[in-house]
Amino acid sequence: MSVDRDHLKVFGARAGAELAADVCDHLDLPLGVGKTELFPDGELIVRIEEDVRGRDCFVVQSTSDPVNANLMELLIFIDCLRRASAKRITAVIPYFGYARQDRKDAGRTPITAKLVANLFAAAGADRVLCMDLHAAQIQGFFDIPVDHLTASAVLGSYFEGIRSDLGDLAIVSPDVGNVKVANAYASMLNADLAIIDKRRESGDSVASRNLIGDVSGRTVLMVDDMISTAGTICEAARLVMERGAERVIAAASHPVLCGLAMDRLQDAPIEKIVVTDSIPDRGRLDPIRNKLVELTIAPMLGEAIYRIHHDMSISALFQRGTGVKR
C-alpha cells in the first residue's frame, strides 16, 4: 500500500491514541504528533506539534466514557487543525456517543445525535468516518459527507474461521430491531435464525420473554451493535439456555460495558464475548478477560482512510457487510 507520507496525517486523541497508532502501522505511516493537556480548572488544550498546512488530516477518537470530555477534545482537535490550515479534516469516530438519542420518543426531549452532528460541522470537520451507528439515519443528521463502516466484515471473518468449531449453529437476534443483521449473519455462516421478543422495563432493566425459533442442542450466537449495560444480552442468554441451547456466544461491535455490565456478564451463561477495539480497553475489560475475544478494526479503518485520501470508493469495504440495526 503506497501512502503519501507528506500529505496524509493521522492523529490520535486520548480515546483513540492506541487505535490510531495501529492504523498508522497498517498504513506504514508515522503517527501525527499532537497532544492534549488539561488545565487545573479542567479546560482542555490541544497542541499540534508538526506542520499540517495543506495536509489531509484524520483524527481518531471514540466519544465513549467520559463521553462529554472525549467529544469536546475531538471538537477542539478539529478546530486546532482548521486554524493550522489543514486542507481537509476527517473525524474518525469508531464509536459515536449520543447515537441512541436519535429521535423524540417522548415530549420535551432532545435529539442530541443531531446536535452533536452539527457541532462537528461547526468545529470545521470536512467529513466523518464512523462505524456501526446505532441507527443508520444518523448519517442524514450531518451536513458534511459521512462514510459509515460496519464491523461485520471483521466479526464475520472471525466466526467463519472458527465455523467448524461452532457445530449446529443458530443465530439469535436479541431483539426484533436487529433481525436484518442477524439474518445476514445466518446466511454468511449457514445457520438458522431465531428471534427474541424483548420487553424493556426500564433504562437498565430488560425482560426477554418469548423466543421464536429452535435453539435446542445448538450453539447460539447473538450479535448486536453494542453491549451497554448487558441487560438484553444476559437475559437473552438465560432464555436460550432454558430452551435447550448447548452454549452461548455473544458478539458486538462496541464494548460500551457500563453500569452493571461486568457483573452481569460474569454471572451469565455466556461462554465467549467477541468485541472490537472501537472503544479503548486499558484494563477496564479485565473482569471478563476469561471470556473475552477482542478483534481489531485498525486494518479496516486504515483501508478506509487510504481510500478517502486517494478519492477512491469506500463501498468496496461494504460488499460483505450485514447492514445496520435499523
Residues annotated as catalytic (active site), given as ranges: 198
Is-contact 177 196, C-beta < 8 A?
no
What cell does 149 get? 463502516
For the chain, the maximum distance between any two Cα atoms, rounded to a whole number of angstroms, is 62
Q: Which helix (H) or strand (E) is 238 found in, with range?
A: helix 231-242
Strands 169-173 and 219-227: parallel
Is-contact 291 272, C-beta < 8 A?
yes
Is-contact 12 60, C-beta < 8 A?
yes
Q: Of 195, 191, 200, 194, which Cα lies nearest the Cα of 176? A: 195
Q: What gap in Å lies between CA 53 and CA 51, rounded to an integer?
A: 6
> What is the 3 state secondary structure string of 27-84?
HCCCCCCEEEEECCCCCEEEEECCCCCCCEEEEECCCCCCHHHHHHHHHHHHHHHHHC
Q: What gap in Å lies between CA 151 and CA 64, rounded to an integer?
A: 17
- 166 by DSSP, 3-state: which? helix
Length of the chain: 326
- 248 by DSSP, 3-state: which? strand
Q: What gap in Å lies between CA 170 and CA 166, rounded to an integer?
A: 10
Is-contact 171 313, C-beta < 8 A?
no
Q: What gap in Å lies between CA 174 and CA 179, rounded to an integer?
A: 8
What cell does 324 get? 445496520
